[in-house]
A and B are shown apart, each in its own frame.
Chain A
Amino acid sequence: SQTIHQWPATLVQPVGSPLSLECTVEGTSNPNLYWYRQAAGRGLQLLFYSVGIGQISSEVPQNLSASRPQDRQFILSSKKLLLSDSGFYLCAWSSGGQGEAFFGQGTRLTVV
Chain B
Amino acid sequence: DQQVKQNSPSLSVQEGRISILNCDYTNSMFDYFLWYKKYPAEGPTFLISISSIKDKNEDGRFTVFLNKSAKHLSLHIVPSQPGDSAVYFCAASGRNYQLIWGAGTKLIIKP
Contact = CB atoms under 8 A, between A and B. Distances in A.
Counting contact residues on chain B (CB < 8 A from A), the size range is: 20 to 34
Contacts, number: 63
Given A51-B96, A105-B42, A99 B102 contact: no
Interface stretch (A62-70, A75-83, A90-98): A90-98
A6 B34 CA distance: 23
Given A44-B89, A90-B44, A98 B51 contact: yes
A106 B43 contact: yes
Interface in A34-73: 34, 41-46, 49, 51, 57, 59
A57 to B, nearest CB: 8
Contacts of B78: none
Nearest to A101: B99
Contacts of A92: 43
Interface of B: 4, 6, 9, 32, 34, 41-46, 49, 51, 89, 91, 93, 96-99, 101-104
A49 B89 contact: no
A102 B97 contact: no
B101 A49 contact: no
A100 B34 contact: yes
Contacts of A106: 41-43
B5 to A, nearest CB: 10
A7 interface: no
